[in-house]
Amino acid sequence: MTSHAPKLPDGLVVVVKRDCATCQMVEPLLVLIAASTNLTVYTQDDPTFPESVPAIHDSDLAISWHHSIDTVPTLITVVNGQETDRTFGWSRADWQRLTGLDDLGEDLPVMRPGCGSMSVDPDRVDALRVAFTDTPIISRHVELSSAEDEFEAMYARGWTDGLPVIPPTPERVLRMLTGTTRAPQDVVAIAPPDLVELTVEKIAINAVMAGCLPEYLPWVIAALEAVCTDTFNMHGVLATTMPVGPVIICNGPGTRAIGMNSGINALGQGNRANNTIGRAVQLTIRNVGGGRPGEVDRATHGNPGKISFCFAEDELGSPFTSLATERGIALGQNAVTVFAGEGPRCVVDQLARTADELTNSLVACLQTVHHPKLVIGFDAILIISPDHGRLFAQEGWTREQLITQLIERSHTPGEQLVRGARGIAEGIPPHLRDATLPKFRPGGILLTFAGGGAGLFSSIVAGWANSAIGSDPVTRVVGS
Amino acid sequence: MTSAGLIILDPTNESVPATRQLLSRPRDVAGLTVGLLDISKPRGNVFLDRVEELLIGRGAKVLRFSKPTFTKPAPVDMRHEIAMNCNLVIEALAD
């Protein structure tokens, strides 16, 4: 109930509509109730209904909205202006209790469900929210002219990633804000590169534009909290000439609740949550942070994942503990892990029949991350598919065992890596010639599990300059 | 498709950058303190060593600064120190 909610009169209050069989069924009872107590009837659709007792037409649905009427009929007890009890639909026992009439409706069924209140009608609810919420929206309202195509207008203002965006009307933004318990003006982070306060409201606007549903909003907020840290270094991820952007890996039961894809084509198109959560993060960085290609974003090539790169780990199918668990998140909690990564590349191995053989293949392919002669400075995500995962499962390999083996087997003599070796100028400095070096630093492989049930392939996402020089992965719990 | 008077909410930070007048260019650097800010890209120091030589040869005093990493903005304290101690600053790239 908002602060401007109209008060209900003392006594009993019932909210009904003609277009409801249950309301029509209880209509004869209203006369009996009115005879014994102070009854106020609100009718939603037809001011002439009910005909047996006087009714107040809740024409703007203000009473229904403010008093959270989800179902009609709803019967409410009001004492000294405060609601003390309510029942909805027809429940003979409840109606008898609230009215104090012990024989009320004895000829009616014991119970019958009610109908949807007009105040929760999907066609009306957004407008009602705008009309009746103590609107917390403070963003500038932009009125487009009648001659403007709204989609073209948003392109023209530079607000899009090159694809059309959903117009962020107040109705849509308020609906988006129902996805979080956080106040619209809560500051989530300081958004680079312009270092401006990033509010829940601004995130919600960009989430609408990206095509998110309200239930995705907490994931978008968590991902933005994660990327706007000094550890992740979104400023540098934008400014670098390398092709990286935020890659978002989602964990927890919430990934399934919001319908994320961790299976067939998990890294690709087709799933709304996967594609719009990542897109909302990038649109927010663009529009609020001010990070636009050609300006602070100096990427030589970029990669298509900079529009959106977000997927869920298949925790239920995985032979390993989850990435989030590995990163300190309690089992059953929802979390996002952000990684500065480029596009995915495929590892083909259709002949390995043992974990050992497959590990060797994975190492060979991981060696190519950014350059076969550059080591330790770049991390990578390794996404094991179900078909590949089976080889590790059947031999009982753990996450730790696989990662240890990958790093151990990636050691290469410095003489093969130094600048000039193998006829390749690129490489590590000459003073490391006598060292034997692993491809990855400790913790430099983020092992995760996703993909469709067929295909002896895994996937690698190469990272950017790691550690305090560049970016380290960041994991955040998804709030409410 | 058009929508008469459709209202949408501004998705940007709505801030307006402050505009400041550029300082006039000094006629020469003699007697001025020049800050050389190395952004910490490989071999940037080689380039800046030579710039320092040339500036000293023209009578400037040179102070050297290095960002901790080229991937992040210079720390606030460093920016403040440069502003307090230098008449001019050259922020230098590499690669």
Give domain status of residue A184, yes or no: yes
Q: How far is the first Cα of chain B from the last one, in angstroms, to the nearest whole number?
A: 49
Are A37 and A107 members of one domain? Answer: yes
Residue A4's pLDDT band (cuts 50, 70, 90): low
Mean pLDDT computed over A299-308: 97
Q: What is the residue-averaged pLDDT of chain A?
A: 96
Same domain, yes or no: A23 and A119: yes
Residues of A in contact with B11 (CB under 8 A): 139, 159, 168, 202, 205-206, 209, 283, 287-288
pLDDT digits (tens, 9 = 90+) for A316-353: 999 999 999 999 999 999 999 999 999 999 999 999 99
The Cα A283–Cα A286 span in angstroms is: 5
Helix (H) and strand (E) counts in chain B: 2, 4
Identity of the highest mean pLDDT range in A124-128, A384-388, B2-6: A384-388
Write down the pLDDT at residue A134.
78
Residue A93 lies in a domain: yes
Which among A135, A148, A176 is the top mutation candidate for probing chain B, defined by the most B β-carbons within 10 Å of its own β-carbon? A148
Nearest-Cα distance to chain B for A172, in Å, is 9
Kindly state the average pLDDT of the residues A11-23: 97
Position B94 scores a pLDDT of: 64
In-domain check, residue A91: yes
Our CA dihedral for A183, A184, A190, A194, rounded to 10 degrees, sits at -170
Strand order in the sheet with A39-43: A56-57, A39-43, A11-16, A74-79, A82-88
User: Would you call A210 an interface residue with chain B, using a CB distance cutoff of 8 Å?
Assistant: no
Nearest CA in chain B to A240: B71
A235 to chain B, any CB pair closer than 8 A? The answer is yes
* Cβ contact, residue pair A140, B71, below 8 Å: no
Of A246, A222, A220, whose CA–CA distance to A233 is shortest? Answer: A246
The pLDDT of residue B5 is 84
Among the listed ranges A45-49, A130-134, A432-436, B74-78, which one has the minimum average pLDDT value? A130-134
Q: For residue A419, give both structure tokens.
A: 């600048």
A147 vs A254: which has the higher pLDDT: A254
Q: Check CB contact of A173 with chain B, cutoff 8 Å.
A: yes
Q: A195-223 pLDDT, tens per residue?
A: 999 999 999 999 999 999 999 999 999 99
Tell whether B10 is within 8 A of chain A (Cβ).
yes
Is position A1 within any domain? no
CA A418 → CA A409, A430, A431, A439, distances in Å? 19, 5, 8, 13
CA gap A295, A194 in Å, rounded:
12
Q: How high is the pLDDT of residue A1? A: 42
Between CA A360 and CA A405 the distance in angstroms is 9
Same domain? For A200 and A54 the reply is: no
Query: Cβ–Cβ of B11/A202 closer than 8 Å?
Result: yes
Residue A149 falls inside a structural domain: no
Q: What is the pLDDT of residue B2?
A: 45
Cα-based torsion angle of the residue sequence B41, B45, B51, B53 in order, rounded to the nearest 10 degrees: 180
Closest Cα of chain B to A148: distance in Å?
6
Mean pLDDT score, A53-62: 96
* Residues of the domain holding A57: 11-132
**Contact criterion met (CB < 8 Å) for B7 and A170:** yes
Lowest mean pLDDT among A60-64, A124-128, A132-136, B20-24: A132-136
Beta strands in A428-478 (DSSP E): 436-437, 445-449, 457-465, 474-477
Show which of A132, A165, A180 is a domain's final residue: A132
Among the partner residues B7, B12, B69, nearest to A143 by beta-carbon distance: B7
Percent of chain A with pLDDT over 90: 96
What value of ipTM does the predicted structure carry?
Answer: 0.87
Q: What is the pTM of this model?
A: 0.89
Cβ separation of A142 and B2 shorter than 8 Å? no
Identify all chain A residues contacting B5, using CB atoms and an 8 Å cutoff.
143-146
Under 8 Å CB pairs connecting chains A and B tally to: 95
Mark which of A132, A162, A181 sits at the end of a domain.
Answer: A132
Parts of chain B with a pLDDT under 50 = 1-3
* Residue A55, CA distances (Å) to A21, A45, A63 in order: 18, 11, 13
The verdict on residue A312 lying in a domain is: yes
| Beta carbons within 10 angstroms of residue A145's beta carbon | 11
Q: What is the structure's pLDDT at B1?
A: 46
Q: Which residue has the tokens 């019967």?
A: A75
Taken as a whole, chain B contains a residue count of: 95
CA A16 to chain centre: 37
Same domain as A121, residue A248: no
> What is the distance between the alpha carbons of residues A102 and A170, in angstroms, rounded to a whole number?
48
pLDDT digits (tens, 9 = 90+) for A446-456: 999 999 999 99
Instruction: Tell whether the model's pLDDT for residue A2 goes beyond 80.
Output: no
Burial of B77 (0-12, 13-18, 19+ CB in 10 A): exposed
Q: What is the mean pLDDT of residues A436-458?
A: 98
Residue B76 near chain A (CB below 8 Å): no
Mark whether A112 and A244 lie in a shared domain: no
pLDDT of residue A5: 78
A233 and A297: one domain?
Answer: yes
Helices (H), A67-190: 92-99, 122-132, 150-156, 170-177
Rounded distance between C-alpha atoms, residue A48 and residue B44, angstroms: 83
Cα nearest neighbour of A198 on chain B: B13
Q: Please give the tally of structural domains in chain A.
A: 2
Using the Cβ of A166 and the Cβ atoms of chain B, whether some distance falls under 8 Å is answered with: no
- Please check whether residue B15 touches A, CB under 8 A: yes
